[in-house]
Structure 1
Amino acid sequence: MRRLPSRVFACLLLLTALPACVRNVPASPSADAEALGQIQAWEDRRSLGEGQLVAWAQGQRGTGVQLRALRALARIQDPATLEVILASLAASEPQVREEAAFAAGQLGLSWEPLAEEVKARLTDALRAAEAAEADAGVRRTLLESLSKVNTPGAVQRLIERLGDSREGVAGRAALALGVVGRRGASLAEVPLERVGALLAPEQAEETRYGATYLLVYLKRPAALELLRQCAADASPEVRAICAKGFAEVGGQDDAPVLGKLLADPVPRVAAEAARSLAKLSLKCEGPCATLEALRGLKRQAGAVAAGASAEGHAILALAQTGLSPSGRSVLEELRRALREAPRGASAVALDDVAWLDCRLAAAMDRQAGAIAEVLRCGGDRVPEPRRVALGLREVALGQTPAGQGGAKDAVNWLRHADARVRLSALEWVAARPGPEALEAVRALIAGDDPVVAGAAAATAGTMKATEALPEVRALAARVPQEPDLAEPVAGALVALEGKEAEPLLRTWLGHPHSNVRRVAAESLTQLTGQPVRSSRVEMPADTFRPPVAPTGAKLTFRTKKGDITVALDTEQAPLTSGNLYALARKGYFRHVTFHRVVPDFVAQGGDPRGDGEGGPGYSIRCELTHRPYLRGTMGMALAGKDTGGSQFFFTHTPQPHLDGRYTVFGEVTAGMDVVDALLEGDVILDVQAEP
């Protein structure tokens, strides 16, 4: 979120102590403690305090209170506060201008799209403030906020700054442009020669990283030579993001470059190379150079069997991406290489080998359009529900028509005892709808498991099964009490009822949960063809708030691969850190898995269901701060605004597109090698909370 000056980038690489890496909102001796407590209460309720919060954001109670009030406005994201935020961009104190710049960016990044006139006002004000700003820190925050607003005018200003000679500005502008490109903005006017100049070896690492990140999302064939250049960069972070760029513009001639990166000593670099090679191989109708290069992963297979878990990320990246049928022999070879585990291999190594074998087996089933290989993978070390759920999900992602008996088999899986299998079977049916499944889908909509019921409703919508409307309507009646049902049920109502669903969806616009309102607004926009945005609704005064964790709190996650220690940010994210701290003290995470691992991105855990859909039975508010997502950052997983619960993630590498979107509430201080070694299904033995 915040800039990456050289001292912060150094923290990223060296994983030094968290407080040294990011400047907090400064404490003010004159800050009124009672006022700060009141702001926290308003923020929790998403309230403007009948106008008092806005008045304090104008400086009525001093700088300390003003800073905290602006932070609250950034988190509430109400367009009605636009004017006070923009006025604060001209404050005399740099820290106030920086907090206002952050708030403006957060408003631009609202979960519900802003009206065009609001975005235009934001763009004009941010451009004017950036042009006049003398403070380097404030200016960098302004550049980041321009990327969050993501308008043509904002993009143009960022392009102009690519040629800025002031220290760090061009690199930050390049990174910001890469983020807007990732979010779909046009980068057609970005001059490639300016980007190339930022890649020169004499440039700071932060600058080279920002330029490489931008290259990836330019997606221009003309950028290929620059990608070949950055592939040899001294920084593993630059090499990793560089390898990612080949997937869009590379070709078979780039197999040697990516093959070299596949052998990189840093596993996350090899993982990105494997992913790009796999994506390029999907275009092959027969043997090709990129497929041949992927056979080099046999080295990683041997290393995993010998106990080097992190080496498995390259194999996992390949399996998650998949290969065309012409690459089946590559998958078979890698499975054979995995099975050649040395005698006396540890239980951890054997578990890793078993899971990666099933991952490759699922990729083979994806090619065939039906599950078969996953039914006999893993050497009995992977339970049947995990194998079947994985296979069904992968087959659903594939483009191959269903294999013989597929529809009948899918119906049987819909009736499986394990919820993970039922959810994956619903994905299969949604991808290949057929009348055979309708009865089973309707039964699941009316079932006891709300997660499965919601997924079944969404599947009925995909099937256009109007026969399921009674069950969908009954499920819709549960949304006011069960907000997590809103998204799948709304999709089903729009698909099955069309405009007749409008009256019900309009009642959701007044729901106290912001994500329900967002879903309703998006659905009504789709139905009416006119932009619909909900109004802010205050949450009840008795809304649940977890206890605050003590200052200096830390969590130690114990796994069979080692311990991961996290320093919690109790100052800037007291609610989020306190929530996980309290859950840990209750033993909530004992035997819960890391259910999602995406190499060179995140390792995610904290779901007691194990399917990515579970939580503690309540949700907490987002606490967005200036903290950026660096390597080893801990963030709160979300399904929409203010939907945090118990699911968290660790980042393997910087993820600037997450900045300002997901609450950062901790940093790995020991055990980053364990984070790198995690694979899907690794179990949290326990979490120790200190003090």
Structure 2
Amino acid sequence: MTRSVPALAALGLLLAACSTSRTPPAAAPLNQFAADSTLRRIATAQDQRQTPALRPFLHHPKARYRQAAALAFASVQDRAALPDLLGALSDANVDVRVAAAFALGQTADSAAAAPLASQVSTETDARARRYELEALGRCVGRGTLPLLLQLPRTASPDDTLLSIGQAWGLYRAGLRGLTSEAAVRRVVSLLGRPPYSARLAAAHTLARTPRLDLTAYQEPISAAATSAPSYAVRAAATSALGKVKDPGVAPVLAGILRRDADYRVRVAALRAMNASMYAPVKEAAWAALDDPQAQVALTAAEFFLTHASGETGRLFLDKAARMTAARPRAALLAAALHHASAAEKEGIRASIQQRYAAATDPYERAFLLKTLGEDPTAYAFVEQATFQPNQPPVVSTYGIEALVALRSRPDFPEAQQPLFVQTLERAIGTNDVALIGTAAGALKEEKLQMRRDFRNLALLRSAQQRIRLPRDVETWQALQQALDYLESKPAPTPTPSAASQHPIDWALVESIPAGQRVAVVTGKGRVELRLLVEEAPGSVASFVQLVRQGFYNGKNFHRVVPNFVAQGGCPRGDGWGGTDYTLRSEFADRGYAEGAVGLASAGKDTESCQWFITHSPTPHLDGRYTIFAVVDKGMDIVHRLDIGDRIERVELLGGASAAK
């Protein structure tokens, strides 16, 4: 049914339509902060970590502001707000109760466990109960873990939100190593039936809870790994199969590697394989070296590097010579060097060094230096390359990492320990933050015994004084941790407060439409992001400002971990670069699903310019890294990105897409 239009009005509309060739575009919707000064005040107090300013808003007459204040404490994470947040669990408004439960989980205070369990038993809203159960999982200890299994007697077996909440609660507890046989049985039962979110949580619980022996549950886990409709459940269940100590699991993993259509599941299968099952999976892993997805080929090469036995170095050298992708080829060359006999090693090492000399791409040269980290006799070559004048940062960074890897090998000659100490001193004496930070990190490695051999603490303090804060906070932390270790301090020295942390530019925030889209044009294609200005205003404002400055144009993706993330935006191209300011973390009620875009950091409240895109759900990142955008289009491009791929440009797009 349509509404009628009076004749004269219709004629006017027709004339207006004829007078112009196009209709003006509708104005982009404003974000919530542009129209509400109170929300700006709450967000400012959150950004400045002002608990006294936020607490009154938890008692505001308007539920919207009580909810916003509770969510703010998810980022502030101040235990002083615990009584107010616990009180908010009984708020008349369900959205406030949900926000309070989320914030309590983020605070992770064990004192909240019993009140949360009590609230679960009396909660009348299914959605709020789901959040309370997950928060309980973040707060329970060993003695209170059974609270997660004691569901309300009135709960229905068909309550899907109850299953989801319990599954995620058990996952959050499992990440901290808190589990029991009863908890594992419950998780396995959730793995085998809908809803999807509970199955996903259950699969990740089994995959990521440490020190589990899942041999008794091989059958249901194998069923999920091979037949679950969702690739994400299959991948996590496949990872969990790596905890099954039964020879029968090897052919299951080999079958998954050969047949699963999703590369992320194939990657999970390769990672679940170990040395004890090498013979029955070898053929499938060898075929995976030719997988059209480079991330699978890389993971297969890493499998042979770590787990091969009874093979010659020549086998891997010959296969590497037939590979075209630089990164998997370098990993296979590392396998050749690692498994070479004494008679083979010199020739393989010489081949790698010749390839290094001929390579023109700095990332390929970096991969090859990492490869030489398998042979202590390559030490002098790697050191010379690392400290070569005017070397691209990524090459020297990989070089110092290779030198540390060489020293960590059991066959590193004891007589060369003084040489390694000199290398560390040389690195710390430079002005390169990656060389300094990596060398400092090596000093606190217990197995390297640097308390015995490294005496030059004055050099560390001098280097620390040269560090530019807050930009190079990660290097400062590495130096301080090394000093604390070498001086046997019982408690770590805290990082200094970053005076240059970036306040939120509200004028800029208010100009960003809700749902603002951004194009990331890469050498492999175009990816479109949707910015989450209402969830992370400070992070989005910083990103938009950098985009307008052309900051990201010409940068590279410097870190790509198969079935995890593709990360870029580093001005150095090696992951050690940043801006002259840091941002405070903004943790909204959003999890790391496939295509989430997060800000990299060196710890809470140290975010800068580097960002990453997740290949698949990665819930262990939830509440630890700011999510400021999601991929709207181009995930197929994201899955093809590799280290060294170029970010041609990043540009803001006109208009805004509808929220998804």
Aligned partners of 1:180, 1:45: CA distance in 2, in Å? 30
- Between structure 1 and structure 2, the one with the greater Rg is 2
Q: Does structure 2 retain, via aligned residues, the 8 Å contact 1:147–1:177?
A: yes
Offset of 1:593 from its aligned partner?
Answer: 1.6
The AA in structure 2 aligned to 1:408 is: A
Q: 1:37-62 deviations in whole A, cap 9, x for unaligned?
A: 222222222223xx232122222x53
User: 1:86 aligns to what?
Assistant: 86
**CA 1:575/1:283 → structure 2, altered by over 3 Å: closer, same or farther?**
same
Aligned partners of 2:355, 2:221: CA distance in 1, in Å? 38
User: 1:43 aligns to what?
Assistant: 46
Q: 1:356-396 deviations in whole A, cap 9, x for unaligned?
A: 2223223434556996664355996x546434533444665
- 5+ residue gaps, structure 1, are 1-25, 109-118, 305-310, 341-349, 514-538
The more displaced of 569-578 and 160-169 is: 160-169
Offset of 1:414 from its aligned partner?
Answer: 4.0
Offset of 1:121 from its aligned partner?
Answer: 1.5
User: 1:135 aligns to what?
Assistant: 125
**CA 1:334/1:208 → structure 2, altered by over 3 Å: closer, same or farther?**
farther
Q: Does 1:198 align with 2:210?
A: no
The AA in structure 1 aligned to 2:625 is: Y
Q: Does 1:231 align with 2:225?
A: yes
**CA 1:330/1:243 → structure 2, altered by over 3 Å: closer, same or farther?**
farther
User: 1:57 aligns to what?
Assistant: 58
User: 1:422 aligns to what?
Assistant: 396
Offset of 1:295 from its aligned partner?
Answer: 1.9
Q: Does structure 1 retain, via aligned residues, the 8 Å contact 2:554–2:648?
A: yes
User: 1:605 aligns to what?
Assistant: 568
Aligned partners of 1:601, 1:237: CA distance in 2, in Å? 12
The AA in structure 1 aligned to 2:162 is: V
**CA 1:196/1:494 → structure 2, altered by over 3 Å: closer, same or farther?**
closer
Aligned partners of 2:284, 2:650: CA distance in 1, in Å? 41
The AA in structure 2 aligned to 1:80 is: A
Aligned pairs for 1:183-194 within 5 A: 183-192=176-185, 194=186
Q: Does 1:248 align with 2:236?
A: no
Aligned partners of 1:377, 1:179: CA distance in 2, in Å? 46
Q: Does 1:386 align with 2:369?
A: no
Q: 2:497 aligns with which of 512, 521, 546?
A: 512
Offset of 1:467 from its aligned partner?
Answer: 2.8
User: 1:324 aligns to what?
Assistant: 307
DSSP-derived class of the 1:677 partner: coil
The AA in structure 1 aligned to 2:584 is: R
The AA in structure 2 aligned to 1:223 is: Y
- 5+ residue gaps, structure 2, are 1-30, 409-416, 655-660
Aligned partners of 2:151, 2:572: CA distance in 1, in Å? 47
Q: 1:397-442 deviations in whole A, cap 9, x for unaligned?
A: x7xxx53x24434443442343333333433444416211323322
DSSP-derived class of the 2:306 partner: coil
The AA in structure 1 aligned to 2:329 is: D
**CA 1:167/1:663 → structure 2, altered by over 3 Å: closer, same or farther?**
same
Q: Does 1:494 align with 2:484?
A: yes
Q: 1:204-262 deviations in whole A, cap 9, x for unaligned?
A: 33333333233323442212222221122232222211211122225543232222211
Q: 1:448-493 deviations in whole A, cap 9, x for unaligned?
A: 2233223223334443344321111113335684433332012211
Aligned partners of 1:87, 1:540: CA distance in 2, in Å? 35
Aligned partners of 2:202, 2:82: CA distance in 1, in Å? 32
Q: Does 1:221 align with 2:206?
A: no
Q: Does 1:662 align with 2:657?
A: no
User: 1:527 aligns to what?
Assistant: none
**CA 1:198/1:71 → structure 2, altered by over 3 Å: closer, same or farther?**
closer
Aligned partners of 2:610, 2:575: CA distance in 1, in Å? 8
The AA in structure 1 aligned to 2:138 is: K
**CA 1:451/1:199 → structure 2, altered by over 3 Å: closer, same or farther?**
closer
User: 1:362 aligns to what?
Assistant: 334
TM-score by length of 2: 0.81
**CA 1:229/1:669 → structure 2, altered by over 3 Å: closer, same or farther?**
same
Q: Does 1:271 align with 2:254?
A: no
Q: Does structure 2 retain, via aligned residues, the 8 Å contact 1:199–1:230?
A: yes
User: 1:289 aligns to what?
Assistant: 280
Aligned partners of 2:380, 2:356: CA distance in 1, in Å? 25
Aligned partners of 1:328, 1:129: CA distance in 2, in Å? 59
Q: Does structure 2 retain, via aligned residues, the 8 Å contact 1:371–1:391?
A: no
Percent identity over the alignment? 29
The more displaced of 66-75 and 251-260 is: 251-260
Aligned partners of 2:138, 2:314: CA distance in 1, in Å? 41
Q: Does 1:209 align with 2:200?
A: yes
**CA 1:424/1:89 → structure 2, altered by over 3 Å: closer, same or farther?**
same
Aligned pairs for 1:137-156 within 5 A: 137-152=127-142, 155-156=145-146
Q: Does structure 2 retain, via aligned residues, the 8 Å contact 1:415–1:440?
A: no
RMSD in angstroms over aligned alpha carbons? 3.2
Q: Does structure 1 retain, via aligned residues, the 8 Å contact 2:582–2:607?
A: yes
**CA 1:473/1:239 → structure 2, altered by over 3 Å: closer, same or farther?**
same
Aligned pairs for 1:578-589 within 5 A: 578-589=541-552
Q: 1:621-679 deviations in whole A, cap 9, x for unaligned?
A: 11101111111111111210011111111111111111111111111111111111112
The more displaced of 659-668 and 179-188 is: 179-188
Aligned partners of 2:82, 2:355: CA distance in 1, in Å? 56
**CA 1:73/1:415 → structure 2, altered by over 3 Å: closer, same or farther?**
same
User: 1:21 aligns to what?
Assistant: none
Offset of 1:176 from its aligned partner?
Answer: 3.3
Q: Does 1:436 align with 2:408?
A: no
Offset of 1:188 from its aligned partner?
Answer: 3.6
The AA in structure 2 aligned to 1:288 is: A
The AA in structure 2 aligned to 1:232 is: T
Aligned partners of 1:245, 1:27: CA distance in 2, in Å? 42
DSSP-derived class of the 2:309 partner: helix
